């Protein structure tokens, strides 16, 4: 019998903002522990929140083996790795003071707008240890700024939005970019002409990647339900396009470098599609074992659940040019709010866009009317794939812009 111990601790300060003022401050410090035992291809799990006695949880986990929950793969062993953050966040007092100053500047710079939602600073620690030599730990610190923007003359729930998550913070860069959003919002472009345009998606946005997430799922891929089934090793997309699973701290994430099963790769990257060529679906340990695919460290689930395939964090690498260089003088469309879109089973894509801005390669030019975008999977990532920028749209953001040509129509 093998036992492992999974521990997660979240320390968070969350500021709730309403009408550009701090409405409330919430602090939490939550520790969670799960103990898993493995015996004869079965797993037993017991968990607790707060201070717990590991002996009691171990006893409950052993009793859970009687449920005969199948787990036909051995736990990870003989790996030791620790990652600590490179820099410390602000102290609690500094963070609260800084967020008050941030809101002061936003009110002064944008008197026609109000701001609401959440300003968060979080410290998280994750560890996984067992009695066959596994010892992993990862401490993560980040800011999560999420603001909804309302114009004073609007009755909408919100008119625009700005959000980012990173371990970087700079008040001037943040307020300047939000001011650019507000300025562009105040400059509607009613004479916009329909046509085929470069569309700028945040590189991690699941809107345009939704079909890849679905069809690269290991079980869906292996059972023939994916558009990519039986296409391993084939060139399916533009040679400039690659799609990786990442757990790398370099591609900032709030997740640890190891998955729920303690799996990680040497450089925390696994190519699913590389230079347009289909490499592998994403998997957890059981799926990799069952179908003989590489294990891509995508074991997921809640801390106290039996691991299964989780949705991976995507990394679409830059193609080496700035947004301006990719656009080559054309104006692009920056997607800010797009909800309600999807892919059909055969790969056709369409989405309404509630808010988008025209972009000249350097700045947001103005607000476009509500739009409808459409394309097709092999076209999007084939001939109409223009590239992934080497620079972020917002300087503090860790994401880049994926630029794809799409058909654009106005919604009446």
**Category of 100 on φ-ψ map: left (φ > 0), alpha (ψ -120 to 50) or beta:** alpha
* pLDDT tens track for 224-256: 999 999 999 999 999 999 999 999 988 877 889
Q: Which residues does the chain have with pLDDT short of 70?
A: 87
* pLDDT tens track for 119-174: 999 999 999 999 999 999 999 999 999 999 999 998 888 999 999 888 889 999 99
- pTM exceeds 0.85 for this model: yes
pLDDT at 261: 97
In contact, 342 and 210? CB cutoff 8 Å: yes
pLDDT at 156: 85
Residue ranges of the alpha helices (H) in 135-198?
171-185
Q: Spell out the domains of the chain, with CATH numbers in brackets.
A: 2-185 (3.30.2290.10), 195-203+320-410 (no CATH), 207-315 (no CATH)
Interior CA angle at 373 toward 361 and 242, to 5°?
65
pLDDT at 396: 85
The three-state DSSP-derived secondary structure of 299-319 is EECCCCCCCEECCCCEECCCC
Cα distances (angstroms) measured from residue 93 to each of 75, 100, 163: 43, 11, 23
Give the separation between CA 326 and CA 307, rounded to whole angstroms. 41
Phi, psi at residue 103, to the nearest 5°? -65, -35
Rounded to the nearest 10°, the torsion over CA 180, 186, 191, 193 is 40
Rounded to 10 deg, the angle between the 171-185 and 92-109 helix axes is: 30
Give the separation between CA 244 and CA 341, rounded to whole angstroms. 23
CA end-to-end span of the chain:
64
Query: Cβ atoms within 10 A of the Cβ of 388, count?
Result: 25
Considering only the C-alpha atoms of the chain, give the largest distance between any 2 of them, rounded to a whole number of Å: 70
């Amino acid at each position: 019998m093998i036992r492992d111990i999974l521990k997660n601790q979240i320390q968070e300060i969350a500021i709730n903002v309403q009408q550009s003022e701090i409405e409330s401050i919430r602090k939490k410090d939550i520790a969670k522990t799960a103990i898993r035992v493995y015996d004869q291809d079965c797993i037993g799990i017991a968990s607790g929140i707060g201070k717990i006695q590991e002996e009691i949880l171990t006893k409950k986990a052993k009793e859970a083996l009687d449920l005969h929950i199948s787990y036909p793969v051995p736990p990870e062993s003989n790996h030791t790795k620790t990652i600590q953050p490179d820099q410390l966040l602000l102290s609690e007092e500094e963070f609260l003071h800084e967020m008050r100053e941030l809101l002061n500047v936003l009110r002064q710079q944008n008197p026609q707008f109000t701001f609401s939602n959440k300003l968060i600073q979080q410290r998280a620690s994750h560890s996984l240890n067992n009695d066959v030599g596994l010892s992993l730990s990862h401490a993560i610190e980040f800011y999560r700024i999420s603001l909804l923007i309302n114009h004073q003359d609007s009755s909408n729930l919100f008119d625009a939005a700005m959000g980012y998550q990173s371990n970087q913070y700079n008040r001037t860069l943040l307020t300047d970019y939000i001011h650019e959003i507000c300025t562009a919002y105040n400059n509607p472009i009613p004479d916009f002409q329909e046509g085929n345009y470069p569309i700028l998606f945040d590189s991690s946005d699941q809107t345009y990647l939704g079909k890849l997430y679905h069809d690269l799922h290991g079980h869906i891929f292996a059972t023939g339900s994916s558009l990519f089934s039986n296409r391993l090793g084939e060139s399916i997309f533009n040679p400039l396009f690659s799609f990786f699973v990442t757990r790398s701290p370099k591609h900032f994430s709030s997740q640890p470098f190891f998955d729920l099963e303690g799996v990680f790769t040497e450089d925390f990257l696994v190519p699913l599609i590389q230079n347009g060529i289909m490499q592998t679906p994403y998997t957890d340990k059981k799926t990799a074992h069952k179908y003989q695919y590489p294990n891509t460290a995508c074991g997921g689930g809640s801390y106290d659940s039996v691991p299964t395939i989780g949705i991976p964090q995507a990394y679409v690498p830059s193609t080496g040019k700035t947004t301006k260089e990719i656009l080559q003088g054309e104006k692009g469309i920056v997607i800010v709010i797009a909800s309600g879109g999807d892919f059909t089973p055969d790969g056709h894509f369409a989405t309404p866009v509630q808010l988008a801005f025209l972009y000249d390669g350097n700045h947001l030019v103005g607000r476009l009317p509500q739009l409808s975008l459409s394309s097709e999977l092999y076209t999007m990532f084939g001939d109409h794939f223009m590239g992934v920028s080497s620079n972020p749209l917002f300087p503090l953001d860790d994401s880049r812009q994926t630029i794809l040509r799409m058909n654009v129509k106005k919604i009446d």
